[in-house]
Amino acid sequence: MVLFVAIFIPATIIRNKVEISYNINDMLPQNLPAMQAIGKIESQMGSVEMADILFPDSTPRFVQRQVLNEIGDLPAVEKTISLAQMADAAIPESFIPDEATKQFEKGGYSHAIARLKVKPGTAEGNQAVSDIREIIKGHGIKNALVTGTAAISKDLVDASSPDLKKVDLLAVGLIFLIVALAYVSLSIPVLLVLAIMLAIFINLGIPYFFGHSVPFLTITAITAIQLGCCVDYAILLMSRYKQERRLASAHDAMVVTVAGTSPAIIISALSLFTSTFGLVFISDVSTVKSLALLIGRGALISMFVIIVMLPAVIVKADKLIGLTTRGWNANAYKEEN
């Protein structure tokens, strides 16, 4: 019981400190020829990360030049390349060779490139994209576009971060509702959900201690997967305890419950662990490897929390359960001596 309470708060804090990776390159096998080529190019030529900027043709060249000069002054930007910087604004369009124009202008837009010193998906990379967009916005340029790997990663953060929180809240809320309706209780769903969330927080907090980031696709999936398996273990334990509590005191009923349900929980957890953990050593895709590791490890952590910690919490909360659960006291339970 003390262990449960002592771990829950720091596990919650650490879970929120885990770095989530939105870098698309990190989700690809590093042994691909293209990924190996990136490393060789960076060692010879420097950063290969770029942000592509498209100005509407209606944007004067001198304005484009001002914008790009400001962007080039950003700490995260190595240099900028554009027709507006190669050709002075005083030079008439007709004087510029068609070969040069075709390289930078097409489809009603003028193309510029900003070479970045930072990696996409990192806090620095996301901030660089935000700064570039703010500079363009500050000059009142409408319908300008910023894209590239760094911009895609930034947009993934903006799009998925709120969704991740909503999905987690919705999943936990629905599990709470299902357990509450099944047991007609206010306290049982709280206890089970707390145990489930503790198992998930411990699992997701482990990468923090090793300095590893977690791909955002993994975070999206693991909460739902571990929540599903852990709630099964918790309901199995609670259902058996409810039956045994009619015949014995809280402590004795829980002893019989743990002895009776542990084999099923252990077999289920080990089956999930062995069926996924092999991917950690086989797969070259970091997202698949990370997901497999979290699923396998999460099964063992869920097993530990449900078998070792949750029983003590239930026994200590036995009187509260009796007061807040319909029909719990209607049966001839034996009271504690």
DSSP 29: -
pLDDT for res 332: 44
Q: Which runs of E-coded beta strand occur in 15-63? A: 20-21, 50-56
Answer yes or no: are the C-beta atoms of 218 and 287 closer than 8 Å: yes
DSSP 47: -
Answer yes or no: are the C-beta atoms of 21 and 213 closer than 8 Å: yes
pLDDT for res 337: 44
Q: Note the Cα 17 to chain centre separation in Å.
A: 11
List all residues 6 or more positions away from 256 whose beta carbon is below 8 Å from its beta carbon. 244, 248
Concatenate the DSSP letters of all residues of 79-97 into one string. Answer: EEEEHHHHS-TTS-GGGS-
Which amino acid is located at 267 in the chain? I
DSSP 53: E
Q: Computed from CA positions of residues 172, 176, 179, 181, in that sequence, does the dihedral angle turn out positive or negative?
A: negative
pLDDT truncated to tens, each residue of the chain (337 aa)?
888 888 988 988 888 888 877 776 666 666 777 777 877 777 777 667 889 999 998 888 889 889 999 999 999 998 888 877 776 666 666 666 777 677 788 888 988 989 898 888 778 888 999 999 999 999 999 899 999 888 988 888 888 778 777 887 888 898 899 999 988 999 999 999 999 999 999 998 888 888 887 877 787 788 788 888 888 999 999 999 998 988 888 999 999 999 999 999 999 999 999 988 888 888 777 778 888 889 999 999 999 999 999 999 999 999 999 889 887 754 445 554 4
Domain range list for the chain: 2-22+162-324, 25-152
Residue 117 — φ and ψ, nearest 5°? -95, -5
CA atoms within a 13 Å half-sphere pointing along the CA-CB vector of 79: 6
* C-alpha to C-alpha distance for 243 and 262, rounded to whole angstroms: 16
pLDDT for res 215: 79
pLDDT for res 216: 77
Instruction: Tally Cβ neighbours within 10 Å of residue 80.
Output: 24
Residue 89 — φ and ψ, nearest 5°? -65, -25
Looking at 3.30.70.100, 2.60.40.1120, 1.20.1640.10, 2.40.10.120, the CATH number of the domain 2-22+162-324 comes to: 1.20.1640.10
Asked, colleague to colleague, whether 2-22+162-324 and 25-152 share their fold, the answer is no
What would be the CATH architecture of the domain defined by 25-152? Answer: 2-Layer Sandwich (3.30)
Helix (H, G, I), strand (E, B) or coil at 307: helix
